[in-house]
């Protein structure tokens, strides 16, 4: 791996951020492209920042190096910031919807993007065996200390789904995963491959007003996270072998004091496409 010039990278990234914040978007994009030239793995998420300004092509997903770095840095304070300050309650909403729909208990659950264990902990009494997967090693370490999961892996979600050869699950959750994934086919096909027929796939997404999507099913929103159109989510579920059980509007979190609109989806795997 080529050694990164950390000083030059920091200078270019800080300059790009300053230009972006001042509204000089063309100059900011040029500076972010300097960042990408210095750091092709994109630990700072330059590609999604360019896309969030409406410039260049929308990436298929956030770079793995960026996601791992972002969550590694915040692992120790993650729950305090996300739950206490940003009002994140998606795991609780998942539990409420499963109970309202009289779904469960479950034998085997896969918690994609498990983070520090918020979803695993919230559903622990509804599941016999839980496997957690997260790209951030530091987040997995925090989850491990809670002793909530039978098995934990440090891995990218789609890579894990592609490589896993254990027995299928009857519940897969992906809370706060889609904001870092644009194109949904790899994730949905991977979930299908790891579910037993009739198994549930429960996930949250962020969304924006319809006009923000134009002809695309997903865009990078103003906070550098992916938003998905409901029509795109429905279409990709159908194409990958799922029947929609329920889709509902939720507030995913707060951002600068404002609610971030999203959806909570419960889908059932009907069998091979």
Encode pLDDT of 156-200 as tens digits: 999 999 999 999 999 999 999 999 999 999 999 999 999 999 999
* Of residues 214 and 103, more confidently modeled: 103
Please give the torsion angle defined by the CA atoms of residues 24, 28, 29 and 31, in that order, rounded to the nearest 10 degrees. Answer: 150
State how far the Cα of 37 lies from the Cα of 39, in Å rounded to an integer: 6
Structure tokens at 93: 């909403």
pTM across the whole model: 0.94
Mean pLDDT to the nearest integer, 223-251: 97
Q: Name the CATH code of domain 77-269 (choices 3.40.190.150, 3.40.50.740, 3.10.310.30, 3.40.50.150).
A: 3.40.50.150
Asked if the model's pLDDT at residue 100 lies above 90, the reply is yes
- Rounded-to-5 percentages of helix, strand, coil across the chain: 45, 25, 30
Q: What percent of the chain has pLDDT over 90?
A: 86
pLDDT-derived band at 5, boundaries 50, 70, 90: confident
State how far the Cα of 178 lies from the Cα of 112, in Å rounded to an integer: 10
State how far the Cα of 242 lies from the Cα of 162, in Å rounded to an integer: 18
Q: Name, in order, each residue with C-beta under 8 angstroms of 154's C-beta and a sequence gap of 6 or more.
A: 133, 134, 135, 136, 137, 140
Q: For 148, left (φ over 0), alpha (ψ -120 to 50), or beta?
A: alpha
- Predicted pLDDT of residue 273: 60
- Sort 172 into a burial class: Cβ within 10 Å, 0-12 / 13-18 / 19+: buried
Backbone angles phi, psi at 113, to 5 degrees: 60, 45
Q: Name, in order, each residue with C-beta under 8 angstroms of 213's C-beta and a sequence gap of 6 or more.
A: 219, 227, 229, 232
Domain 6-74 -> CATH class: mainly alpha
Asked if the model's pLDDT at residue 77 lies above 90, the reply is no
The mean pLDDT value of the chain amounts to 94
Q: What residue ranges of the chain are covered by domains with CATH 1.25.40? A: 6-74
My answer on whether omega of the bond before 105 falls inside 30° of 0, hence cis, is: yes
* Residue 106: count of CB within 10 angstroms of its CB: 18
Quickly tell me which residue has 């990234």 as its tokens: 13
DSSP state of 61: B
Asked if the model's pLDDT at residue 272 lies above 80, the reply is no
State how far the Cα of 264 lies from the Cα of 52, in Å rounded to an integer: 23
- Name which of 169, 219, 216, 214 is nearest 190 in CA terms: 169
DSSP state of 75: G
Q: What residue ranges of the chain are covered by domains with CATH 3.40.50.150? A: 77-269
DSSP state of 271: S
Asked if the model's pLDDT at residue 1 lies above 60, the reply is no
- Name which of 195, 194, 254, 263 is nearest 232 in CA terms: 263
pLDDT-derived band at 44, boundaries 50, 70, 90: very high
- Predicted pLDDT of residue 60: 94
Asked if the model's pLDDT at residue 128 lies above 70, the reply is yes
- Sort 273 into a burial class: Cβ within 10 Å, 0-12 / 13-18 / 19+: exposed
């Amino acid at each position: 791996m080529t050694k990164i010039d950390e000083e030059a990278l920091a200078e270019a990234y800080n300059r790009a951020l300053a230009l972006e914040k001042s509204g000089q978007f063309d100059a900011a994009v040029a500076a972010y492209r300097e960042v990408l030239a210095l750091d092709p793995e994109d630990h700072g998420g330059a590609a999604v920042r360019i896309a969030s300004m409406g410039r260049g092509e929308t990436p298929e997903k956030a770079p793995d190096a960026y996601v791992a770095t972002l969550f590694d840095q915040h692992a120790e304070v993650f729950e305090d910031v996300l739950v206490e300050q940003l009002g994140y309650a998606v795991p609780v909403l998942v539990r409420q919807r499963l109970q309202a729909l009289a779904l469960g208990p479950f034998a085997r659950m896969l918690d994609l993007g498990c983070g520090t264990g918020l979803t695993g902990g919230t559903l622990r009494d509804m599941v016999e065996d839980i496997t957690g997967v997260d790209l951030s090693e530091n987040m997995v370490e925090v989850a491990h200390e809670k002793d909530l999961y039978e098995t934990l892996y440090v891995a990218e979600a789609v890579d894990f789904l592609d490589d896993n050869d254990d027995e299928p699950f009857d519940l897969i959750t992906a809370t706060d995963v889609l904001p870092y994934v644009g194109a949904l086919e790899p994730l949905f096909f991977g979930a299908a491959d790891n579910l037993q027929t009739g198994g549930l796939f429960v996930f949250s997404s962020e969304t924006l007003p319809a006009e923000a999507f134009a002809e695309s099913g997903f865009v990078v929103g103003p906070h550098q996270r992916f938003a998905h159109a409901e029509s795109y989510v429905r279409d990709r579920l159908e194409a990958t072998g799922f029947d929609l059980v329920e889709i509902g509007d939720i507030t995913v979190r707060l951002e600068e004091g404002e609610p971030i609109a999203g959806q909570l989806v419960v889908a059932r795997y009907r069998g091979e496409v």
